[in-house]
Amino acid sequence: MAKVLYDQDINKEVLQGKKIAVVGYGSQGHAHAQNLRNSGYDVVVGLRPGKSQQKAENDGFDVKSVADAVKEANVVMVLLPDEHQVEVYKESIKPNLQAGNAMAFAHGFNIHFNQIVPPSDVDVFLVAPKGPGHLVKRTYDEGAGVPALYGVFQDVTGNAKELSLAYSQGIGAARAGVLETTFQEETETDLFGEQTVLCGGLTNLIKSGFETLTEAGYQPEVAYFECMHEVKLIVDLLYEGGLENMRYSISDTAQWGDFVSGPRVVNEETKARMQEVLSEIQSGEFAKGWILENQANRPQFYATNAKENAHPIEKVGKELRALMPFVKQPLQTNDEKQK
C-alpha cells in the first residue's frame, strides 16, 4: 500500500525562513497564498496588473510583478492557468530564477509534456491538491485540508522532496494526507479523472438523464432535482463513506435499481472508451490538441462553452437555485469574472 503522510511526519524546517512567491491569484493561487501565510510563511504574490492584483492587495498581500516576485523568492509556485504558463515562464520566471531556487507546480502538464524545460540548477517539485482551490482554502480555515500529491522532477539541492512535503503541509494538505507521485502519474491521472469521471463523465451523465426525462414529457424542474441537485447529496455520502455508506442510506429499491440498471448505462463499452481516452492522454495526443486549440485562440472551446451554457438544464437550474438561498452562489475565478 502507498505511504500516506500526515502533519506529524513532515519536517517543516527546510521551508522556514524561505520566501515563497505564489505566481497567480486565481482558484489555487489565493488558497495557497493565504494558507501558507496562515501557516507562518513569508509570501509574495506575483501577478500582472488586473483584477487578481486588486484582490490580492485587498487580502493584504505584497503584490509584485511576476519578475520581481521571482527575483526575491527562494521558492516559486506557478499557479497560472496551464495554457499561459509557458509564455510567463519564458518572459518573467526563467530569467529571474537563481541557482538553488525551487520552482513548483500544482499540475504537471507543462513539465511532463516538455512545454517548460527548467534550468538544470533549480529544484522542481509538484504539490497537486486533489480538489478545487476554493476548497483548499475553505477546508484549511475549518481546520481540515484537501489531500495532495507531491513529487519531484529535479533535485539539485538534495532538499526537493522535503520542500514539497513542507509546502504541502503549509497549505493544509497533510491534515488530509499527502501521497508521493511523479509528474507523469499526476498529469496522466489528473487529466483522465477530469475527462472521464469528475467533469466530462459527470456532466454528460447528468445531461443525458435530464434530456431523457424531459424528452419523455416530465417537468424540467423535476428532472433538474433528480439528475443535478441530488447528485451533491449522493456524492456527500460517497465522500463520507464510500459505496456501501451511500447504499446504506438510499432505499433498497434504489439500491436494487443501482445494481440492475447502473451497469447497463455505464458498461464495458464505456470502459473501452475510457481506455481510448487514457491512451490519447498517455501518447500526448490530448495535450497536443489542447496546445493547438490555444494557439488558434480556442475556437472550439468557446463555441462549445456557449452551447453548453445554453442547455435547458442551466436555465431551469438558475431559476430553482435562486429559490434555495442556502445553495451557495457559484464559485468563480478572477479570470472568469474578467470575461
Q: How far is the CB of 252 from ligand NAD (least distance, A)?
A: 37
Which residue out of 107, 134, 229, 311 is catalytically annotated?
Answer: 107
Q: How many CB atoms neighbour CB 145 within 10 A?
A: 25
What are φ and ψ of residue 178, in 5° steps?
-125, 145
Distance CA 43, CA 134 (A): 18
Nearer CB in complex with ligand NAD: 232/264: 232
The conformational region for residue 105 under phi > 0 = left, psi -120 to 50 = alpha, else beta, is: beta
Residues between 84 and 123 with contacts to ligand NAD, criterion CB under 6 A: 84, 88, 106-107
Q: How far is the CB of 79 from ligand NAD (least distance, A)?
A: 4
Is 168 annotated as ligand-binding?
A: no
Spatial contact of 89 and 118, defined as CB atoms under 8 Å apart: no
Distance CA 220, CA 214 (A): 6
Instruction: Tell which one of 15, 20, 33, 52 touches ligand NAD (CB under 6 A).
Output: 52
Spatial contact of 144 and 175, defined as CB atoms under 8 Å apart: yes
Distance CA 273, CA 270 (A): 5
Nearer CB in complex with ligand NAD: 26/316: 26
Is 251 annotated as ligand-binding?
A: yes
Spatial contact of 93 and 76, defined as CB atoms under 8 Å apart: yes
Tell me which residue has cell 445554453: 310
Nearer CB in complex with ligand NAD: 48/271: 48
When CB distances are held under 5 to 8 angstroms depending on the partner's kind, the choice from Mg ion, ligand NAD, none that residue 84 binds is: ligand NAD
If one asks whether residue 24 binds ligand NAD (CB under 6 A), the answer comes out as yes
Is 172 annotated as ligand-binding?
A: no
Distance CA 171, CA 138 (A): 11
Instruction: Tell which one of 28, 154, 164, 196 touches ligand NAD (CB under 6 A).
Output: 28
Residues between 125 and 144 with contacts to ligand NAD, criterion CB under 6 A: 128-129, 132-133
**Using alpha carbons only, how large is the chain's radius of gyration in Å?**
22
Q: Which residue is nearest to ligand NAD (CB)?
A: 26
Is 28 annotated as ligand-binding?
A: yes
Nearer CB in complex with ligand NAD: 157/182: 182
Q: How far is CA 208 from CA 223, 311, 330, in A?
A: 11, 11, 22
Q: How far is CA 267 from CA 139, 151, 274, 322, in A?
A: 35, 34, 11, 36
Nearer CB in complex with ligand NAD: 88/165: 88
Number of residues that bind ligand NAD (CB under 6 A): 26
Instruction: Tell which one of 10, 22, 26, 164 touches ligand NAD (CB under 6 A).
Output: 26
Segment interacting with ligand NAD (CB under 6 A) among 82-90, 111-119, 173-181, 291-299: 82-90
Instruction: Tell which one of 44, 76, 79, 246 touches ligand NAD (CB under 6 A).
Output: 79
Is 164 annotated as ligand-binding?
A: no
Interface characters, 158-197, with Mg ion (x: CB under 5 A): --------------------------------x---x---
Q: How far is the CB of 76 from ligand NAD (least distance, A)?
A: 13
Distance CA 326, CA 321 (A): 9
| Active site annotation includes 107 | yes
Distance CA 265, CA 4 (A): 34
E strand intervals along the chain: 4-5, 19-23, 42-46, 62-64, 75-78, 102-105, 123-129, 148-154, 178-180
Tell me which residue has cell 496551464: 82
Nearer CB in complex with Mg ion: 13/285: 285
Question: Which one-letter DSSP state was computed for residue 142?
Answer: T
User: Which residues bind to Mg ion, rule: CB under 5 A?
Assistant: 190, 194
Residues within the interface to ligand NAD (CB under 6 A): 24-29, 47-48, 50, 52, 66, 79-82, 84, 88, 106-107, 128-129, 132-133, 333-335
Residues in the annotated binding site for NADP(+):
25-28, 48, 52, 133
Q: Which positions are annotated as active-site residues?
A: 107
